[in-house]
Amino acid sequence: MSGVNPQPRDHQPHTVYIVSPLSRLPELVRTRVPDLNVLSYPIPEDFRIDPSEYSKLAKLIDDSKADIIITFHTTLRNLVQRGLSCDHLRWFQSCSAGIDQLFRAFQKPPEHMVFTRMGEGFGELMAEYVLGQIISREHYFPQMVEYQRQKVWSRSKFIQKRSLSTMTIGILGTGAIGSKIAAACKAFGMTVRGLCRTKKRLPNFDVLLRNEDLSKFLTGCDYVCSILPSTAETKGMLSGDVLKACQDKRSVFINVGRGDVIDEASIMRALNNSWIGGAILDAIDREPLPADSPLWTHPDVVITPHVSGPPSTDTIARVFVSNYQKFIRGEPLDYKVDWKLGY
């Protein structure tokens, strides 16, 4: 686990520095924890900040002597790279579930700090995204919109449909988010497979396989959904010829996890060789996806800009406040980053 259990500093008020595009977050935290000194620095929604501004912000945070920081893992990485001293920090609360950029900011976790991520609040939205994309594809919604645009009344293409209850989805990653997706798919009668590091019994999964059984897991799936984090074990996990195991049903690949689980060339190869029937990509190896990428114009690809599980201001505030009460009591915090596992 990262860091040590936080030690409360009796009789000394704590200061949190919030660096976020979520404009309501500072006031929510301030209202819910009146004795906490809340400082904030708003950043653009696209996170595009000039390097010199990061240097300025790093100095502001250092001068404030804040012992807590709430921001995104990418922002913390940029601040550290621009000179932020973490000597005064005791706790970093990420605004996202993914924290892979922490490992670029620190070769090893500072022993005096604890790092926590978001462990809830994303599952419902991501389950709705996955299920919505499946229903949209199976009911030809994009084609219907195009027919309407062209003022075409034609039923023949749309009357041959598959029920979700006849299909199998394989979910790579069976944690909190994967379990939400499994429950949503199970509610529509889908057969649900799960791939995980250690075999265990979980509700809403009909079959659970370990990572070493990846090829067996992929075979026979109508949809394959990755929600995997970015770790040494998962990077490139689906690259190369791995998706060839999907060719019997020409599975549709959905990625709502981290983009580096598979590179763009491997996705294109799987599409062009008819190993998969399509790709729904909310996470891609290169983000933003360059305009010259062939994925943009491939007819069987849907691209969305990493929005399947946007952060909720209320959820971030709720998780932080709950953890803050534990922090001041010196208790272990929820959703601590495990630096050995990489998430």
Of the candidates 264, 306, 318, 331, the residue annotated as catalytic is 306
Residue 4's pLDDT is 53
- Calculate the alpha carbon distances from 313 to 104, 125, 217, 290 in Å: 26, 14, 36, 29
Whether 318 is catalytic is no
pLDDT of residue 10: 46
* Active-site pick, 112, 287, 318, 329: 287
Residues found in the chain: 343
Residues of the chain with pLDDT under 70: 1-11
Residue 103's Cβ-side half-sphere holds a number of Cα atoms within 13 Å equal to 14
d(CA 313, CA 308): 15
Query: What are the tokens at 240?
Result: 């190369």
201 carries an active-site annotation:
no
293-322 per-position pLDDT tens digit: 999 999 999 999 999 998 899 999 999 999
In the residue annotation, 27 being an active-site residue is answered as no
Residue ranges matching CATH 3.40.50.720 in the chain: 15-121+311-329, 123-303
Which of 77, 90, 258, 264 is an active site residue?
A: 258
Q: Which of 127, 218, 219, 129 is nearest to 175 (CA)?
A: 127
Please provide the CATH number assigned to the domain covering 123-303.
3.40.50.720
Looking at residue 7, its pLDDT comes to 52
The CATH T-level fold of domain 15-121+311-329 is Rossmann fold (3.40.50)
